[in-house]
Structure 1
Amino acid sequence: MPKTISRWILTVCLLVGATVASAPSAEAAAWSCVPYARSVSDIEVSGDAWQWWQNASGIYNKGQRPAPGSVLVFKKTRSMSRGHVAVVRQVVSNRKIIVDHANWGMGRRGKVDTGVGIIDVSPNNDWTETRVWYSPIGDYGNTTYPTNGFIYPKRSPSAATARIVRPGG
């Protein structure tokens, strides 16, 4: 093989190797809430986050009680024009859940946050108004976020049988 072809092959191999080595890993990739929720839940719904509630109709059970593995769907607002979705990791009480979600809050664009508290502040205890823990201020703050409710994966308990898991048991 001529030297020029050998050098060309070596150059291509080095360039490909450098590109692969510098490519961001899945952990380092920027996430928005929708692809993140799809990747860590058993729920495959299309559309922007605010559209999940309607788009899940006839495919998944939906309801107002949180269950581990369910997805909480936030309505779109002026400040959240695409809505938001968060995956329930744990139900702490009838008014508090722990979620994992992506792309929440200023300075968190594209980042994944795990173990985040959300509290129900709705007057009827139906999870239609919530507050989300925001670590930069160390509080739930005063902002209330409207939600539709929870979409349940097909293999999870139904809304009627969703169990509350208390800390330590």
Structure 2
Amino acid sequence: MLQRLNAAAVAATLGLLVAATPLQVRADEPYWQCVTFARMISGIQIFGDAWTWWNQAVDRFRTGRSPETGSVLVFQPHGRMSRGHVAVVSNVLTDRVVKVTHANWGGSRGRVEEDVTVVDVSEAGDWSAVRVWYGPIRDLGTTVYPTYGFIYSAAGQAGRAAVGRDEAAGQP
């Protein structure tokens, strides 16, 4: 419980620091889907709805429950997010707070959002449940989203695929 409160405090502090910096969106940007954008910037060549990425990755990429810069966080289908979501980790701030860059999320339909705060709120500290910064309220959103975990970028993957399979064996 203390870890969850600490993570929330860190996220709130970070939010105050970025609240004065509005999201820069250009009118000439294309309409992005999260999977197309994540595939392009991560280099992870997986296709299909976001929720399918986890099972597709298990035998092809290293997967796990710890964030790494460049990895893709895979959200499970939840509520109105029936196809899941994928977001690329742009910076690891603590073991429970990261920044992601993603597309087509919430109030930014079809747009790319850079360096959005995501906080691990899972009881076990395993990134199985997260809250995501929501710009319109200038705070973490109220929804807790279930996730599958992280798919690590193809760069440096050679020789580590077996480790990913072992880690993923006991996960959803």
Q: TM-score, normalised by structure 1?
A: 0.75
Task: Kindly provide the CA deviation profile for residues 45-99 of structure 1, in whole angstroms up to 9, marking residues without a partner as x.
Answer: 1110000000112110100000001000000112101100000011000000001
Q: In structure 1, what is the equivalent of residue 30 of structure 2?
A: 29
Aligned to 1:133, the other structure's residue is in SS state strand
Q: Which has the larger radius of gyration?
A: 1
Q: Which structure 2 residue ranges, 5 or more long, are not aligned?
A: 1-25, 164-172
- TM-superposed CA distance for 1:156, in Å, is 4.3
In the alignment, does 2:115 pair up with 1:115?
Answer: yes
| Residue type at the aligned position of 1:44 | Q
Give the alignment of 1:61-80 within 5 angstroms: 61-80=62-81
Q: In structure 2, what is the equivalent of residue 151 of structure 1?
A: 151
Give the alignment of 1:15-164 within 5 angstroms: 28-106=29-107, 108-156=108-156
Q: Give me the whole-angstrom Cα distance separating, in 1, the residues matched to 2:48 and 2:64.
A: 19
Q: Give me the whole-angstrom Cα distance separating, in 2, the residues matched to 1:103 and 1:123.
A: 28
- TM-superposed CA distance for 1:141, in Å, is 2.6
Maintained 8 Å contact 1:42/1:69: no
Q: Segments of 4+ in structure 1 off by > 6 A?
A: none
Q: Which structure 1 residue ranges, 5 or more long, are not aligned?
A: 1-24, 161-169
Maintained 8 Å contact 1:37/1:86: yes
Q: TM-score, normalised by structure 2?
A: 0.74
Higher relative contact order (CA 8 A, sep 6+): 2
Q: CA RMSD in A?
A: 1.9
Q: Give me the whole-angstrom Cα distance separating, in 2, the residues matched to 1:141 and 1:117.
A: 10
Aligned-residue sequence identity (percent) comes to 48
Task: Kindly provide the CA deviation profile for residues 20-47 of structure 1, in whole angstroms up to 9, marking residues without a partner as x.
Answer: xxxxx9x611001000001111211111
